[in-house]
């Protein structure tokens, strides 16, 4: 046998694609959802419980703009 015949007689190793598990796919949606939920919960807890303000103004843009201006004022 020549070298080229030996190389050609070797079995080809094909890549076998694994199926993605349902949990792995669900993580792509579950993790960002939980992060947004934690952010909203933290905003409510900080503004309503610690700040003793009404819950109606938690999700108003002007409230958080005011907080931003207080924190990063020159």
The count of C-alpha atoms lying within 13 angstroms of the C-alpha of 44, restricted to the half-sphere facing its C-beta, is 8
- The answer to whether residue 12 scores a pLDDT higher than 80 is no
What is the reported pLDDT for 13? 64
Single pTM value for the model: 0.57
pLDDT tens sequence across 24-50: 888 889 999 999 999 999 989 998 999
Buried b (16+ CB within 10 A) or exposed e, 48-58: eeeeeeeeeeb
DSSP-derived secondary structure for 32-71? HHHHHHHHHHHHHIIIIIIT---GGGTT-HHHHHHHHHHH
């Amino acid at each position: 046998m020549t070298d080229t015949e030996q190389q050609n007689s070797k079995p080809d190793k094909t890549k076998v694609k694994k199926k993605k598990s349902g949990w792995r796919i669900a993580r792509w949606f579950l993790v960002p959802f939980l992060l947004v939920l934690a952010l909203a919960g933290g905003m409510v807890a900080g503004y309503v419980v610690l700040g003793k303000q009404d819950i109606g103004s938690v999700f108003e843009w002007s409230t958080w703009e005011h907080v931003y201006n207080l924190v990063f004022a020159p």
